[in-house]
Amino acid sequence: MREIIRLALTLFMIGLTSAALLTGVNNWTGPIIEERRKSDYLETIASYFPDVESFETKAEENGDSFDLIYDSAGNLLGVMGTILQGGYGGVITYNLAVDTEGIILGLRIISHSETPGIGDVITRESFLAQFIGKSHEDPLQPGEDVDLVSGATESTGSIIGSVRRSVGHIATSYLDFQAEIFDITVVPDGTFQGVAAGGQGDIVVEVVVEGGRLVEIKVLEQKETPTMFVLSYPIIPERMIAEQKLEVDVSTGATASAEGIVNAVRNALEKAIEEGEGEQR
C-alpha cells in the first residue's frame, strides 16, 4: 500500500511540475501568438481594403465569420469572410473579400489539408485570380465562368461552390442586396419533374403545385452518398414547403446534395412555367 502511494505521489509531483512549467511558457507565448494572428489578419484586410480603420465581426453558427470593414469616416468598405469549407482531404479555411457592390476583390487560402502536389493547386494564384472581379450576380459555375483544375476536381470544385454560396450570402445578408426570389405563384397547377446535378450525379425530383403553392416534393432518383443524403432529405423539401420558397438555407452538412435538390425543384418549376406559356399561345 505504501509503495502504491509513493508511486502515485511521485507521478503527481512530476505532473504538477510539468503543468506549472507549461503554464509559465503559455503565459509568455500566448500573447505573442494572439498578437501575431491579429496583425496577420489586419494585414490581409489592408491588402484588399487599404483604407481600413476598424472592423466588426459577425460570427455565424456554422463556424464562418464575416467582418464588416469600415474606413476612418465610418463608411462600409466591404466584407471580409473567414469561411470553412470541406475539401477532399479535410477542412479548407479561406478569406473572401467582397466590396460594397458585391464584387469579389480576392481570396486567400489560410489553411488546407489537400493532397500535396495535386489538391493544393487551390492555393495557386492562377486558380484564385479567376474569381477576382466576379460578382454575386455571376453564375460562378465550373465550366461557365470559372474553371476547375483537372485532377483536382474535388478540391477546386468545393472552393468554387463555397465562393458562390458565400458571395451570395454576403450580398444578401450584409450588403442589402435583395435575393432573387423565384415566384412560385405563377407556376400552373400540376405535377412536374426536374433534374439537376447533386454531389454524385443527377438528382431527379417530382414537384406537386396547387394554387401557386408547393404541396409535395419527392426525390425520384439520386446517386448521393447515403450517409450524406440523409442530412439533406427530407429536411430540404420540408423547408421549401414550409417557407413556400426555393431560397432556403442549404447548409445541412451535405450542401452539394441540398443544392442539387433545390436546383432540381427550380428546374421542374421553370419547365412548368415554359410549358404553361406554350399552351396559352
Q: Which of 68, 84, 118, 184 binds other proteins (CB under 8 A)?
A: 118
3-state secondary structure of 277: helix
Q: Site for other proteins (CB under 8 A): which residue of 44, 65, 100, 115?
A: 115
As a whole number of Å, the end-to-end CA separation of the chain is 97
Give the nearer residue to other proteins in terms of CB position, either 32 or 181: 32
Closest CA to 66 of 43, 40, 34, 98: 98
201/278 Cα distance (integer angstroms): 30
Nearer to other proteins, 95 or 166 (CB): 95
Interface residue with other proteins, options 50, 116, 143, 226 (CB under 8 A)? 116
- CB closer to other proteins, 9 vs 186: 9
- Helices marked H in 130-254: 153-173, 226-232, 235-243
Number of residues that bind other proteins (CB under 8 A): 21
The residues in 7-26 that bind other proteins, with binding defined as CB under 8 A, are: 7, 10-11, 14-15, 18, 21-22, 25-26
Task: Tell me whether residue 14 or residue 220 sits nearer to other proteins (CB atom).
Answer: 14
Nearer to other proteins, 26 or 57 (CB): 26
**Binding to other proteins by residue 36, rule CB under 8 A?**
yes
Q: Quick one: three-class SS letters along 10-76?
A: HHHHHHHHHHHHHHHHHHHHHHHHHHHHHHHHHHHHHHHCCCCCEEEEEECCCCCEEEEEECCCCCE
Amino acid at 104: I
Task: Please report whether residue 6 would count as binding other proteins according to CB under 8 A.
Answer: yes
DSSP letter at 177?
Answer: P
- At its nearest, how many Å lie between other proteins and the CB of residue 88? 14
Name the minimum Å distance from CB 84 to other proteins: 16
In angstroms, what is the minimal distance from the CB of 112 to other proteins? Answer: 11
The CA distances from residue 206 to 108, 251, 265, in Å, are 40, 22, 8
The yes or no reply on residue 117 touching other proteins (CB under 8 A) is yes
Q: Residue 163: which of 130, 191, 195 has the closest Cα? A: 130
d(CA 151, CA 155): 9
If the CB atoms of residues 29 and 54 are measured against other proteins, the closer one turns out to be 29
Site residues, other proteins (CB under 8 A): 6-7, 10-11, 14-15, 18, 21-22, 25-26, 29-30, 32-33, 36, 111, 115-118
